[in-house]
Amino acid sequence: MNFLAVAPQARIAHIVAGTVARVAAAGPGSQDPTLASFADNRWWLIILKAVCIFIFLLLMTMFAIWAERRLVGRMQNRLGPNRAGPFGLLQPVADGIKLALKEDIVPLGADKLVFIVAPLIAAAPAMIGFSIIPFGPVVSIFGVRTPLQLTDLPVAVLLVLAMSSIGVYGIVLAGWSSGSPYPLLGALRSSAQVISYEVAMGLSWVPVFLYAGSLSTSQIVAAQAHGSPFQVAGITLHAPSWYALLLLPSFAIYLVTMVGETNRLPFDLPEGEGEIVGGFHTEYASLKFTLFYLAEYIGMTTVAAVATTLFLGGWRAVWPITIWSGANSGWWPLLWFLAKVLILLFVFIWLRGTLPRVRYDQLMRLGWKVLIPIGLAWILLVASIRSIQRIGGPIPYIIGGLVLVILFSLFWVWDVGVQRRRSAAAAQQVAEEIALQTDPMAAGFPVPPLDLPHYHGVGVPPSPGSGLPGASRARPVGAADGSEAKNGAAKEVTGA
């Protein structure tokens, strides 16, 4: 039956019946939220959730700043902040007060309206993207059963990608409106970087959608609840259900792209102080600079929460804890979710204290020549596997074996090509070195000889007064024999 050809009343009845069926399937006491769980949210509950998410992001930003300074200090054999409050916990508060009290300067050549709006455009999308992140199952808040999630959509994951795309407009507009070359260079770098790594990030999500069968974040978490059961010595075990294990290449690609997406080391080229001073926010101060700072750390928290949701089972506990029957019910899942997010934030800090900044050409090469081709090949393989799994029998294994043979053959051809290029480059370098030894002009400009006897002390007499054998005594400057010896030494030293 053609759904579009049905009367509007019939279509509405069909949608209502489907919603009722989903609610009935979930059950009144079900802990797993569905899209139908958000249909009857009270207005005051939506406002309460939004305020709680805003406060959570602010607290996570303060904690991430403190933890980063403390951990990087330990990595560099320093103490880090330890004056403001116990263990330096009030240092982010002191920094916020200091930034708020700084003088707010707007350059004379800046576009004032865009210059003011740009920080807001950078910070707001980072907060909006967190609205579809599930913190936990259905719980009771003031007697109302509701999911620990602000909202969910059939295409919820794409909202995060859309918000990150809009967030780069804040950086680009900030660089353009500053009226200075260094912010403009940082803005151009950021736009190219975000485009490159958003493509790879989106490709890393596609295998998750193929396995979960949905783009809804709550459904993706539910799909990672239990792995396929199998028997070992009469004991029923479950295969790994986290997509970080089942789809390891996707998880690895996402880990790299989430660092590039947030402009963090080693991919913080838009604000490289070594070559463009401070990047896109060079001309910003006071609260406007604070918004850029806030956007960066909220973005870190958001991409870490997305990684937790898509690849690490979301709010569900890990295996040893799941032995306890109440691990994934009530408010306990909120603790497991926070633990996973904090571990990923530690990875951000660990990378900053470990890796140096890469060059811009290396950044682009990694995005376009490594991550995107691998992501496309991995999507093709996963889609093929998901398709042939429905056939059954020995045919899927035969096709899978052929696919593996083709992949190994392609890898072998690529490796042979790399080895040949390296051998050709080494042979060319040896040939250039031999040509330079025989002809100093071979490189196109005069080059002094690189190996002369006097470089090794051959033919150079000891200096007068050194006490070495063969050294003559120092004589007056005007002495004839001293002048001759001096001229002769000069001739020998210059190779004349």
Q: What is the pLDDT of residue 449?
A: 62
Q: What is the pLDDT of residue 488?
A: 47
User: Where does the pLDDT of residue 237 fall: very low under 50, low under 70, confident under 90, or very high at 90 and above?
Assistant: low
- Work out the average pLDDT over 165-181: 86
234 inside domain: yes
25 inside domain: no
User: Where does the pLDDT of residue 27 fall: very low under 50, low under 70, confident under 90, or very high at 90 and above?
Assistant: very low
Residues 345 and 475 occupy one common structural domain: no
Burial of residue 38 (CB within 10 Å: 0-12, 13-18, 19+) is middle
Which residues fall within 8 angstroms of residue 144, CB to CB, at 6 or more apart? Answer: 42, 45
Residue 279 has pLDDT above 70, yes or no: yes
The answer to whether the predicted template modeling score (pTM) of the entire model surpasses 0.85 is no
18 inside domain: no
15 inside domain: no
Residues 133 and 271 occupy one common structural domain: yes
Range of the domain at 460: 453-494
Residues 373 and 473 occupy one common structural domain: no
Residues 117 and 228 occupy one common structural domain: yes
Q: Where are the alpha helices (DSSP H) in 129-180?
A: 156-177
The percentage of the chain sitting over the pLDDT mark of 70, rounded to a whole number, equals 77
Residues 322 and 407 occupy one common structural domain: no
* DSSP per-residue codes, 169-196: HHHHHHHHHTTSHHHHHHHHHHHHHHHH
195 inside domain: yes
User: Where does the pLDDT of residue 32 fall: very low under 50, low under 70, confident under 90, or very high at 90 and above?
Assistant: confident
Q: What is the pLDDT of residue 15?
A: 39
If we measure between CA atoms, which residue out of 378, 348, 345 comes closest to residue 204? 378
Residue 211 has pLDDT above 70, yes or no: yes
Q: Give the lowest-confidence range in 40-54, 381-395, 398-412.
A: 381-395
435 inside domain: yes
Respond yes or no on whether the N-terminal peptide bond of residue 266 is cis (omega within 30° of 0).
yes
210 inside domain: yes
Q: What is the pLDDT of residue 472?
A: 55
170 inside domain: yes
Total domains, the chain: 3
Q: At what angle do helices 372-388 and 248-261 cross, to 10 degrees?
A: 150
Residues 306 and 446 occupy one common structural domain: no
Residues 109 and 140 occupy one common structural domain: yes
